[in-house]
Amino acid sequence: MSTAVPERVGVIGGGRMGAGIAQSFATAGAEVVVVEQDPAAAEKVRERVADSLRRAAARGLLPEPPDRILARLSFAHEISALTLMGGVELVVEAVPESAALKAGVLATAEAAVGADTVLATNTSSLSVTELAAVLKRPERFLGMHFFNPVPASALVELVVTAGTDRASVERALAWTAGLGKKDVVVKDSPGFASSRLGVALGLEAIRMTEEGVAEPEAIDDAMRLGYKHPMGPLRLTDLVGLDVRLAIAEHLHATLGERFAPPELLREKVARGELGRSTGQGFYTWE
């Protein structure tokens, strides 16, 4: 497996995921420009990355001082800034989960970069194939699905469409290795590998709670202690957000059928605003 770090990377969207993706590439040695259209969010992304780097440095996890890594990061408000950067090898789109928004951003990015640039989407649930339809060079496009928090997570799920060419997949594989992360390559399909399996387990755990089979702690312990999962499916649902889980379940229900039908308990909790850790109440009560 070859390992490489792209010299220059563009990241569009400086939210939770974009910040982590930018930080990871800059830490690996790439020059990164983060395009964030909202000035308040742009201010925050610099702080967020700086904070995260300081914490990583304190734990001895960085190859060089945080300031040197931060110096490789720059920030812009417009996608056209990618043209000024010159020779960007990879652009990762990490704007909110809306097909229309992502399609517009990807088409604009494609027009701003060279023909050899690989474009990637960090979508967690949209069809990569449908997003590819707006592009002139769909062969240079794939999903690079990062996990939160990106700097600490070990995996990138590479989502390949029927139109993605082998060279782009090889480059994405080498860059993933360059980040020190492991890849899984999946064919574009609803929920990819990670969400499809993760949500299936989460929904069944919710149905078991609904049926009174066991308390949430017991269901989670069955997986944590019995199957060596680092965290049980209900606790994980609380961390991800019940609203986020419901949206993905609805999408998988529509595309893959009845087995992903969201349980009534999940709908009720979301309707009551019990979204998990973010609101203090989900399947658990959080401080």
Identity of the residue, 30 or 33, whose beta carbon is nearer to ligand NAI in the bound complex: 33
Burial of 39 (0-12, 13-18, 19+ CB in 10 A): exposed
Work out whether 191 is an interface residue with ligand NAI (CB under 6 A).
no
Among 63, 65, 87, 96, binds ligand NAI (CB under 6 A): 96
Query: Smallest gap, in angstroms, from Cβ of residue 30 to ligand NAI?
Result: 19
Under rule CB under 6 A, residue 202 binds ligand NAI:
no
Q: Report the residue from 23, 117, 122, 237 that binds ligand NAI according to the rule CB under 6 A.
A: 122
Per the structure block, which two tokens stand in for 88?
A: 């960007």
Segment lying near ligand NAI (by CB under 6 A), choices 14-22, 50-58, 111-119, 134-142: 14-22
What is the rounded end-to-end Cα distance, in angstroms, of the chain? 45
Tokens of 181: 């992360």
Give which of 177, 156, 183 is closest to 28, Cα–Cα. 177
Q: Does residue 52 bind ligand NAI (CB under 6 A)?
A: no
Q: How many residues sit close enough to ligand NAI to count as binding (CB under 6 A)?
A: 23
**36 binds ligand NAI per the rule CB under 6 A:** yes
What is the strand order of the sheet 118-121 is part of?
A: 73-76, 31-35, 8-12, 90-93, 118-121, 141-146, 155-160, 182-187
CB 27 within 8 A of CB 65: no
Closest distance to ligand NAI from the beta carbon of 71 (Å): 22
- Please select the residue that binds ligand NAI; options are 9, 11, 17, 82, rule is CB under 6 A: 17
Q: How near is the Cβ of 215 to ligand NAI at its closest, in Å?
A: 27
Among 9, 85, 94, 119, binds ligand NAI (CB under 6 A): 94
Give the one residue of 4, 5, 29, 41 binding ligand NAI; rule: CB under 6 A.
Answer: 41
Residue 95 binds to ligand NAI (criterion: CB under 6 A): yes
DSSP 109-133: HHHHS-TTPEEEE--SSS-HHHHHT
Would you count residue 222 as binding ligand NAI (CB under 6 A)?
Answer: no
Cα–chain center distance at 6 = 19
How distant, in Å, are the alpha carbons of 3, 74, 91 from that of 81? 27, 10, 12
Gap between the Cα atoms of 24 and 126, Å rounded: 23
123 binds ligand NAI (CB under 6 A): yes
The footprint of ligand NAI (CB under 6 A) covers: 12-18, 35-38, 41, 94-97, 101, 105, 122-124, 146, 148
